[in-house]
Chain A
Amino acid sequence: MEARIESAICPGCACLCDDIDITVVDDRIYQAANICLWGASKFLAHKRFHPKKERRRLQQPRIKQGCLWQTVPYEAALKRTAEILTRASRPVIYGLTNSGSWAQEAALDLARSTRARLEPADLAFKAPYYRSLMKHGLFWASLDVIRDEADTVVFWGANPLHSCPRHVVRYSVFARGKFTERGLEERRLAAVDVYRTELAEFVKLFIRLEPGQEPALVQGLLAALTGGKPPAIRGLRRLAALLEEASYGVIFFGRGVSYGPAQELLDGLGELTARLNRGSPFIFFPLTADFNSTGLYHLLLRELGSPLAPDFGHDLAGTGQAEPVAWSEVDAVVVVGADLFWFLSQEEIDRLKKRQVPVVALSPFANRTTGHAEVVIPVALAGVETPEIAYRMDGLPLFLPKIVSTHLWSDSRVLRELTALL
């Protein structure tokens, strides 16, 4: 049996490309046209950027008995997880940026009922952005408007070719829009980063900084724009001129901004954007990678009024936490759709292990976290094997239908049944 699905949506990253043509044979996807390699890692379980290698799917729930693994039915894995959460006094639900909106809602309910902290996987990147936004204002546009209008595009600490490979083609650089009919030729491009990225292949002004130099560059740009004397940083004057001449500009910043003093840098960039908006429209846009990170922050804003990490056990004021959780206090972790052990430092992992903090991992694929977890619960791929809702990086909500079937539970079902058990 062969079926073709045209213009399907790819849950590979927050671009949520809507032009994927899929061929399904006997309820298995074996061809997807127009997806990039990241998308292939979702649809075809290829390793990201290692096209010939398979990512290993998890097939059955398993729990640790002593030091041995035991495969169990879902119900038993849920029961064990419920026991872990009931015993815990400082549980954390971590991840969720690569989960659909229904799973995120279920996780928020679970966090509420277990008085847990909910830690978005990209908090270190988004929290400073939201705080900067509260100070300097929101400068926002949809990707389609950016494609149609932007004649000046700056990538700051961002490598879209790795985080969302088709972004430059579909929206920010190469796409020809209503007022940018010549596409690339009509856009002035710049990139700022601490190392050379593939962007340098087509971005003419590529400013390579020393780590830690970024806030100085921002202050220098502000000085240059207000007639002050900027410090001597290579490329600064050209970048200032490029920003000043824009008739519609965008600054896309990526995860790179969170590797240094993120708050200082994002406050500076927010101020710079506000300043530029006195001349012409300028957008300040986080280049989100995880496919539904935006949905998670929308949910938090809608339900709790704050985009920061909710902490139902500790934060009685309910304003949310911007600082990453202190892992040394945590005594149980439920990881949903993220690889916590890849993200933590070896020292932090060792300490968690030494304190025998139980880890429960919900994941479609085997990863470092599932290798260490006490309970591993395989889940269906959201937007491929189970329907879900996801928000594109600019906030556009999209429905992702099921494409093929699976015996695995969806993460939203696992989380809902878990909450019901407690």
Chain B
Amino acid sequence: MPAVEEIQEFLPNLDCGRCGLTCAEFAGFLLTRELAPEDCPVLHEPDYAGFIEALHELLGQPTVQAAAGMQIDLEKCIGCGICVAMCEFHLGNCADARLGKGPRPQDKVIFHIVNGGAVVVHQERCTRLLQAAEKCSKCAEYCPTKAIVLF
């Protein structure tokens, strides 16, 4: 996941409040995908040409990723982290997730919990994408709110 400073490099940093927030808060919502770069009106001005595209690249284009096989409904998700603990990939790659703890920032994960909701950061690590799709569906299977849809 990109760091906050990296995101802020591509924001106007004017704190003009036109998005209803400060730029730093806006960056936070970009990280949780609750807002998209297009939601900053200032970025649509000619001075900032190319910034929106740069932000999409930085954020890893969640919509494109989701099309590859996994969608998390943040309206339903309660951030319990069962999916993080049960994920087949995490089992072999993240000792903390095995134990039921949250992954450390440096751990290799597919998704983790941010601000109370599950956020995908590296869809490409998912077993379903590497092998046949029917190989794994653990995250969705154990999600108590049925927030994860695999396709």
Q: Which residues of A contact B (CB under 8 A)?
A: 2, 4, 6, 17, 19-21, 23, 25-26, 28, 30-41, 44, 46, 49, 51-52, 147, 161, 165-166, 168-171, 174-177, 183-184, 198-199, 201-202
Contact of B81 among A28, A32, A166 (CB under 8 A): A166
Q: Are A36 and B79 in contact (CB-based, < 8 A)?
A: yes
Q: In the bound complex, how far is the Cα of B103 from the Cα of A184, in angstroms?
A: 19
Inside 8 A of B126's CB, which chain A residues have their CB?
A: none
Contact of A37 among B28, B85, B96, B117 (CB under 8 A): B117
Q: Are A169 and B85 in contact (CB-based, < 8 A)?
A: yes
Q: Are B144 and A198 in contact (CB-based, < 8 A)?
A: yes
Q: Are B5 and A2 in contact (CB-based, < 8 A)?
A: yes
Inside 8 A of A36's CB, which chain B residues have their CB?
A: 78-81, 113, 116
- A201 touching B143 in the complex, CB below 8 Å, given contacts A30-B24, A169-B100, A175-B99: yes
Known A161-B80, A183-B85; 19 more pairs at CB < 8 Å: A2-B5, A4-B105, A17-B102, A19-B96, A21-B105, A26-B22, A26-B24, A30-B27, A31-B115, A36-B80, A37-B79, A44-B115, A44-B116, A51-B117, A147-B100, A168-B82, A169-B100, A170-B100, A176-B98
- A39 touching B116 in the complex, CB below 8 Å, given contacts A25-B4, A26-B24, A174-B82: yes
12 contacts between A and B (CB under 8 A): A19-B102, A21-B102, A28-B25, A35-B116, A36-B79, A44-B116, A52-B34, A161-B78, A166-B80, A169-B82, A201-B143, A201-B144
B101 at the A interface (CB under 8 A): yes
B142 at the A interface (CB under 8 A): yes
Q: Which residues of B contact A (CB under 8 A)?
A: 4-5, 22, 24-25, 27-28, 31-32, 34, 74-75, 77-82, 84-86, 96, 98-105, 112-117, 142-146
Q: Are B100 and A25 in contact (CB-based, < 8 A)?
A: no
Q: In the bound complex, how far is the Cα of B10 from the Cα of A419, in angstroms?
A: 53
Q: Are A49 and B4 in contact (CB-based, < 8 A)?
A: no
Q: Are B5 and A37 in contact (CB-based, < 8 A)?
A: no
CB distance from A204 to the nearest CB of B (A): 13
Inside 8 A of A35's CB, which chain B residues have their CB?
A: 79, 113, 115-116
Q: In the bound complex, how far is the Cα of B100 from the Cα of A177, in angstroms?
A: 9
CB distance from A34 to the nearest CB of B (A): 3
Q: Are B80 and A33 in contact (CB-based, < 8 A)?
A: no
Inside 8 A of A40's CB, which chain B residues have their CB?
A: 79, 115-116
Inside 8 A of A4's CB, which chain B residues have their CB?
A: 105
Inside 8 A of A26's CB, which chain B residues have their CB?
A: 22, 24
- A171 touching B100 in the complex, CB below 8 Å, given contacts A161-B78, A202-B142: yes
Q: In the bound complex, how far is the Cα of B142 from the Cα of A161, in angstroms?
A: 13
CB distance from B16 to the nearest CB of A (A): 16
Q: Are B105 and A6 in contact (CB-based, < 8 A)?
A: yes
